[in-house]
A and B are shown apart, each in its own frame.
Chain A
């Protein structure tokens, strides 16, 4: 069985350039060459999903506080949309507020990371995602796995 782990796209929805660079640096440092795509807020992410410009399979790494459409707004939009509701979403945010954590898991996120708690360059998050797509079967690549 092949898993095609290196074909999984990391779709980052993040408004802060420094945090995005931090993700890029973490990928470089960990020598992960998976495709990386970025949207700078929820609205742009939604438009990219609707125009099918994200290569499947993909994992979304989503910030919460963003202009125009917040992470939670994007989450509830995609969970109510039959085309996108199986999207695998991890939250990466500065908010450690209980209500944000609860709301995120109620929208079926796969994990919730607080930026303060993780390494300055998100090594922990990125290596966890790398491990995740190495062994997890994702929607969208099931045919290629058979």
Chain B
């Protein structure tokens, strides 16, 4: 067998590398196999050198790999070269595990070789799986909890209304007032539970990106908010590429917050957007009372309100929901603390295809 890389120094260096290192020729035949690869696969170098690299992967990757090589030779079409991806590897004992593979091409003495760098990512994959499961548990918990809490609450509301209906004339004024407060608290708790439920399952409602008419979406959203009559909304006539449902949820919460917390019964809301590297910068600005800087983080947490719920009814879930939706798409939301004539919320919203057209 011809040894293409009979350079002892090179072999020593390659064996000290922590990543697995495999070099194949353009027929897929293994030329070199370092110590980390030995550890990763359980084969000694001499067991694999001279054999086809597809022995290191389970079906259907085996067949696909031969196909990739053939395709690449014929068409130059790169499925993996220079890109890297996650694949499944098979050890000598037959067990399989996820691994990250990066492949590069090199030329030596007019001969083409491929250099594969591999890294065992089973631990990372396990952690991701574990995290996913624990997130699902949490969502399930919030869902079940808010459902089961709703029933007794509805019962309380019914009983109070029956006492009022059946015995109103026998009740002292104070008792009627207190019953009114019980109902108000029960309604508030219903709202809290509904918002918690909505928060827990929002991810399941979020859609992929599509072309969205921002102007139309924002004005439609404003029309859904209570007491919107005296609020002026200015939005650029832009078509953008974002998740429609995600944008609707974010805008609904931001716009309704402006109206609910405004110190006047009228006001101005300005939405602005511009494309930037990797997505869009979006901002919503109002002429309301503003939010003091010290609360800039707390406002995005669950169940946080800056006023007593007896003054302004609210679950305190609105901005937490905004944050969760934007985090789902890998974006960022924050309060612009440099803006002092009201409140400005700024958002970076990633979009692979951040098209932007006016009109």
Within 8 A of A (CB), among B160-209: 161-162, 190
Which one, A22, A25, A94, contacts B150 given CB within 8 A?
A: A94
Q: In the complex, are the beta carbons of B148 and A65 less than 8 A apart?
A: yes
Q: Chain B contact residues (Cβ within 8 angstroms of A): what range? A: 10 to 19
Q: In the complex, are the beta carbons of A19 and B162 less than 8 A apart?
A: no
Interface size on A, residues (CB 8 A): 14
Q: Is B154's CB within 8 Å of the partner chain A?
A: yes
Determine the residue in chain B with the shortest Cβ distance to A63. B151
> Taking each of B143, B148, B151, B157, which has the highest tally of chain A beta carbons within 10 Å of its own beta carbon?
B151
Q: In the complex, are the beta carbons of B162 and A25 less than 8 A apart?
A: yes
Which one, A21, A65, A97, A120, contacts B151 given CB within 8 A?
A: A65
- Minimum Cβ distance to chain A for residue B247 (Å): 21
Q: In the complex, are the beta carbons of A94 and B162 less than 8 A apart?
A: no
Docked pose: A65 CA to B154 CA in angstroms: 14
Contact bitstring B115-157, A, C-beta under 8 A = 1, else 0: 0000000000000000000000000000100011011001101
> Which residues from chain B contact A38 at a C-beta distance below 8 Å?
none
Contact bitstring A42-67, B, C-beta under 8 A = 1, else 0: 00000000000000000000000100
> Which residues from chain B contact A65 at a C-beta distance below 8 Å?
147-148, 151
If the complex has contacts A25-B162, A116-B190, A120-B161, are A18 and B150 also in contact, measured as CB distance less than 8 A?
no
Q: Is A70's CB within 8 Å of the partner chain B?
A: no
Which one, A16, A25, A97, contacts B155 given CB within 8 A?
A: A16
Docked pose: A18 CA to B154 CA in angstroms: 9
Q: Is B17's CB within 8 Å of the partner chain A?
A: no
Within 8 A of B (CB), among A82-131: 94-95, 97, 115-116, 120-121
Q: Is B327's CB within 8 Å of the partner chain A?
A: no
> Which residues from chain B contact A116 at a C-beta distance below 8 Å?
150, 154, 190
> Which residues from chain B contact A21 at a C-beta distance below 8 Å?
158, 162
Q: Is B55's CB within 8 Å of the partner chain A?
A: no
- A interface, by DSSP: helix, strand, loop or mixed? loop
Q: In the complex, are the beta carbons of A16 and B151 less than 8 A apart?
A: yes
> Which residues from chain A contact B161 at a C-beta distance below 8 Å?
120
Number of A-B residue pairs with CB-CB distance less than 8 Å in the complex they form: 32
Docked pose: A116 CA to B158 CA in angstroms: 11
Determine the residue in chain A with the shortest Cβ distance to B143. A97
Q: Is B306's CB within 8 Å of the partner chain A?
A: no
Docked pose: A65 CA to B149 CA in angstroms: 12
Docked pose: A21 CA to B158 CA in angstroms: 10
> Which residues from chain B contact A97 at a C-beta distance below 8 Å?
143, 147
Q: In the complex, are the beta carbons of A18 and B190 less than 8 A apart?
A: no
If the complex has contacts A115-B154, A116-B154, A116-B190, are A18 and B147 also in contact, measured as CB distance less than 8 A?
no
Which one, B151, B157, B158, B159, contacts A94 given CB within 8 A?
A: B151
> Which residues from chain A contact B190 at a C-beta distance below 8 Å?
116
- Minimum Cβ distance to chain A for residue B150 (Å): 5
> Which residues from chain A contact B147 at a C-beta distance below 8 Å?
65, 94-95, 97
Determine the residue in chain A with the shortest Cβ distance to B144. A65
Which one, B143, B148, B155, contacts A19 given CB within 8 A?
A: B155
- Minimum Cβ distance to chain B for residue A25 (Å): 7
> Taking each of A16, A94, A95, A121, which has the highest tally of chain B beta carbons within 10 Å of its own beta carbon?
A94
Contact bitstring A1-21, B, C-beta under 8 A = 1, else 0: 000000000000000101101
Docked pose: A95 CA to B158 CA in angstroms: 18
Q: In the complex, are the beta carbons of A120 and B158 less than 8 A apart?
A: yes
Docked pose: A95 CA to B144 CA in angstroms: 10
Interface residues of A (CB under 8 A from B): 16, 18-19, 21-22, 25, 65, 94-95, 97, 115-116, 120-121
Interface pairs (14), CB distance under 8 Å: A16-B151, A16-B155, A18-B155, A18-B158, A19-B151, A19-B155, A19-B158, A21-B158, A21-B162, A65-B147, A65-B151, A115-B154, A120-B161, A121-B158
Sample of 18 more A-B contacts, CB < 8 Å, known A19-B155, A21-B158, A65-B151: A16-B155, A18-B158, A19-B154, A19-B158, A22-B158, A25-B162, A65-B147, A65-B148, A94-B150, A94-B154, A97-B143, A97-B147, A115-B154, A116-B150, A120-B157, A120-B158, A120-B161, A121-B158
Interface residues of B (CB under 8 A from A): 143, 147-148, 150-151, 154-155, 157-159, 161-162, 190
Give the top 4 A-B pairs by smallest Cβ distance, nearest first.
Answer: A18-B155, A94-B150, A18-B158, A94-B151
